[in-house]
Structure 1
């Protein structure tokens, strides 16, 4: 696939920021990693902004990222790509309030020490998070990943970089415009209906500018979604890190491991999260990432 032009972007990140922490997490988290390239100190990702692009990301000194953007068609708007990448890697997130609260929390301070400079790695776009919520309901990660890849092939785009496929996830307009291709690719009427309803919601409402409470309400009203899907999309897609998941068994287990609580419940989770205020979603995400990376290191031994 020929590339028509290129753009180089210098992307500042709120300190502290450690690009290697982002790549380490992304490398093993298949819902966000598949269709992207993670190697050493480089990340290759793609998308529509709205022109199709592939971006090669690398650290650019402390607290900054350099992105070399290849346009797959006409050259597009570099600022739109910058916003896309900022959302993906949460470059603008200020970790200071959470880190300050952790100084009085010995158990969580050790988690911060292990993940220092890690910014929330979400889905590249909120719409991709919504589609993952639709595709992964009552479905294994492996099968959901296969469905996501089928969706990209059907209505998105795939670029090949150094022999490796890089997925460009479709926009809401692209999904809404091709319902028959979606049905054929997914082969599941319920999931197809949910995908199309999500696309409609993203096109009809300015979701990004809603308050968090209104966003949760709007997302929960999408056909096939509910409170869990709404929380997931708001957290992992829109980066609303004030949200503490209301029910998540793995979070309970991980909190129990960090704080030494046997058979931890969601009441224990809420109690431990309380000092973190509007950072409680970030606190929970750090604990889940710490648990995830710990499992990865054990499985590699």
Structure 2
């Protein structure tokens, strides 16, 4: 047994401790809302996701056992059995990061109790975590795919990209996909991706960014070493295809920078309008005043406000 998980039976079932400020049902409901998602599936209140580790693709099942409080259960399905504990530790790290289990939300909830926008929102979604995208390449690509289109079509584009260029594994007749590797996309031409029916610009952006990853010029580890929110944002915005919104989205969902704040996001403005019962969206200055108390929790506050709409 370790601090992060307990092995239940021959490495096939893992028990992960979770904070009291965690609700599996809230996070499950959030994941269920994703239209046409292709990188996980939900069946009978269980989440199934494929993870590429080394040469293998493992499919994990994540669920809650009512008889085991304050825990997430993670099992491996299929015939591939990990040969060493490093695989299990990689799976545990991914799940903990995906569900953001290591962030202490007590200070956030204490702040939200005094906040006019967040007070009712956190009561409605108590235990919700900022469900992340641990892989930086996937996070950047998802931000680019979603630019200037509605969410449903963005998921359609992602499915086309994943099913065309990502690896997959089939277990019991069900195929699970993983996001394409940077090397795979970097080797493509704009013409190669024509059947995906996304704009030429987006294809150019995806290929160029994949090349940065493939050449080792962009990585999650390097960005995290920078540390400073604004410096990371500036570096990302300097990459063709990444604007302030995409940069802050990556800061929020992948790098877990708590002060990331996409203040000009239309969805955030609409959520504030909804929370206030107003007929008009707030101006940027009005939103700055309304969010003054969010210091050091801008990312989580934004995520909770988005939850009002999505």
Shift of the 177–210 alpha-carbon distance from structure 1 to 2, 3 Å rule, reads: farther
> 1:128·1:237 contact (CA, 8 Å) conserved in 2?
no
Could you tell me the TM-score, scaled by structure 1's length? Answer: 0.83
**Gap runs ≥5 in structure 1:** 293-301
The 2-side partners of 1:257 and 1:142 are apart by 21
The Cα of 1:164 is off from its aligned counterpart by: 4.5
| Aligned pairs (5 A) from 1:127-138 | 127-138=137-148
1:28 corresponds to: 33
CA deviation string 1:210-267 (max 9, x = no partner): 3222321222122222212111221123222321212112211211222345522232
Please tell me the root mean square deviation across aligned C-alpha atoms, in Å. 2.8
1:104 corresponds to: 114
2:18 pairs, out of 13, 18, 21, with 13
CA deviation string 1:259-281 (max 9, x = no partner): 34552223222222221211122
Could you tell me the TM-score, scaled by structure 2's length? Answer: 0.81
The 1-side partners of 2:96 and 2:278 are apart by 36
2:202 pairs, out of 181, 191, 201, with 191
The 1-side partners of 2:11 and 2:166 are apart by 21
CA deviation string 1:123-181 (max 9, x = no partner): 35232121112222233434332332222223312334565543211233443355589
Shift of the 107–204 alpha-carbon distance from structure 1 to 2, 3 Å rule, reads: closer
> 1:254·1:291 contact (CA, 8 Å) conserved in 2?
yes
Whether 1:42 and 2:58 are equivalent positions in the alignment is: no
Shift of the 231–45 alpha-carbon distance from structure 1 to 2, 3 Å rule, reads: same
Shift of the 72–157 alpha-carbon distance from structure 1 to 2, 3 Å rule, reads: farther
The Cα of 1:44 is off from its aligned counterpart by: 0.8
2:226 corresponds to: 210
Match of 2:211, SS state, is helix
Shift of the 253–149 alpha-carbon distance from structure 1 to 2, 3 Å rule, reads: closer
Out of 243-252 and 66-75, give the one that drifted further.
66-75
1:295 corresponds to: none
Higher helix share: 1
The Cα of 1:285 is off from its aligned counterpart by: 0.9
